[in-house]
Structure 1
């Protein structure tokens, strides 16, 4: 079971869960997991437990961004770049420098900004279901694609989504959505120097293949891998395929 803690960073409280790998006694590769809009650290529970059970890993930390999950509402709504700065400050406070940083959905935008603006944080990142597709960057299109993606989704994914969206509340969600859609991740990616793994569920309607390939191509050291039989959630229903790809990526020599 993880230990739940919190840190106050730049005036905002960030709640997080931390697992320590029993195999390495807390010494090894550290991981930082950053959720997407409307979600919280709970979406990473299965993935985090699989990483903690794997040999060679150290600390696995999954955060609730301010205003999501159990983290209180922030003092103000931050842009993606400002949220990246907040994440970078959290990395320092939590002593996670060098951790592989994983973002999902909107979390990919935060992670990209964090490592662009603070390249010393890490030399490896994972971008799962990167948003937002530049050809469909509107609230209407994103909502429509998400509805298409959720059609036929598992009860587990639907239940977690409804619970987390309800906790965030509509007003904060809309504020953050506007900032998310105003952000052009394609302008940030070429300035990310870290090795980057881009992951996509092969049936993801929110992040189509061509868009995710463009994301990988824009990165200086990026590659795209796809997970069969997964949509935008990618690692919530069953994290085993995503965990295997993350562990393979972590095992590569850092260049």
Structure 2
């Protein structure tokens, strides 16, 4: 794999750091890049395995949002819409005109808002471990689920997650948490025009099956894939399987009709009707 380059982009006075990994040296046909967006309290680090896998197919940009990297925490509170505008600004500065947006956990809210603010930029959306379940939209319920998930994650995943939490700091984490808890993802996804793939780990206690299926069904062109036996940070624990699902999804026609449910790791398939 070719080396990754780091770009620092200033948008509206905020700093975003973007790590770019080139795609294949001799691609069969140029593809739109993948853009990876992390969740609350995190950085690019728990997306690194997925970035390496996707780079076999196309260019990959992995974004560190303001306040989550080594830069000082912004003074202003940033909601979902503000994060989306910053992502659009950063990608515009990098010359990205169309892409497959991949978000994890609360990162799915950001990319959904990007698709609504800039429909031409979002060619496809991939929602990995999406939050927040409308039936469990309280801080306590989410905290309990995250605690359960910790027991299911690998030591390497937990090390990345909790070291990033410490770097982010509790004050910035809580300032971003409350507005994101209120974001109505289930209604926003109904207004997205591009194809949507929902991905969950089969043992994810945060993004549960009923919720993920609901999101895929609410999307105009939605699909769902479940990676059997995997927890919330499925893109780290099963990067190859997640990348394979995303690459297959990005290669499908973007027309309407019934949405194919990609093959899961247990070999099962199915359909979701638009």
So what's the TM-score if we normalise by structure 1?
0.94
Q: Does 1:231 align with 2:234?
A: no
| Segment drifting more, 104-113 vs 15-24 | 15-24
Which residue pairs with 1:41 in the alignment?
A: 44
Q: Deviations over 1:199-227 (max 9, x none)?
A: 01111100110001111111111111111
For residues 72-111 of structure 1, what are the structure 2 equivalents within 5 Å? 72-111=72-111
Rounded to whole Å, the distance in 1 between the matches of 2:142 and 2:26 is 41
Q: Does 1:51 align with 2:54?
A: yes
Which residue pairs with 2:20 in the alignment?
A: 18
| Segment drifting more, 193-202 vs 89-98 | 89-98
Rounded to whole Å, the distance in 2 between the matches of 1:98 and 1:87 is 13
Rounded to whole Å, the distance in 1 between the matches of 2:70 and 2:249 is 30
| Segment drifting more, 167-176 vs 84-93 | 84-93
Which residue pairs with 1:195 in the alignment?
A: 195
Aligned length: 252
Deviation at 1:23, TM superposition (A): 2.9
Deviation at 1:124, TM superposition (A): 0.8
SS of the equivalent of 1:76 reads: coil
Closer, same or farther in 2 for the Cα pair 1:31/1:71, shift >3 Å?
farther
Q: Does 1:31 align with 2:42?
A: no
Which residue pairs with 1:183 in the alignment?
A: 183
So what's the TM-score if we normalise by structure 2?
0.88
Rounded to whole Å, the distance in 1 between the matches of 2:107 and 2:136 is 18
Structure 1 unaligned regions, length at least 5: none
SS of the equivalent of 2:55 reads: helix
SS of the equivalent of 1:123 reads: strand
| Segment drifting more, 146-155 vs 207-216 | 146-155
For the 8 Å contact 1:200–1:227, the answer to whether it is kept is: yes
Deviation at 1:229, TM superposition (A): 1.6
For residues 78-227 of structure 1, what are the structure 2 equivalents within 5 Å? 78-227=78-227
Rounded to whole Å, the distance in 2 between the matches of 1:200 and 1:100 is 18
Deviation at 1:71, TM superposition (A): 4.4
Structure 2 unaligned regions, length at least 5: 256-274
Which residue pairs with 1:70 in the alignment?
A: 70
Which residue pairs with 1:61 in the alignment?
A: 61
Q: Does 1:246 align with 2:246?
A: yes
Q: Deviations over 1:117-174 (max 9, x none)?
A: 2211122111111110111111111000011111142110110011110110000001
For the 8 Å contact 1:123–1:193, the answer to whether it is kept is: no
Rounded to whole Å, the distance in 1 between the matches of 2:247 and 2:187 is 28
Closer, same or farther in 2 for the Cα pair 1:166/1:24, shift >3 Å?
farther
| More contact order relative to length (CA 8 Å, sep ≥ 6) | 1
For the aligned residue pairs, the C-alpha RMSD in angstroms reads 1.5
For the 8 Å contact 1:19–1:52, the answer to whether it is kept is: yes
Deviation at 1:238, TM superposition (A): 3.4
Deviation at 1:239, TM superposition (A): 0.4
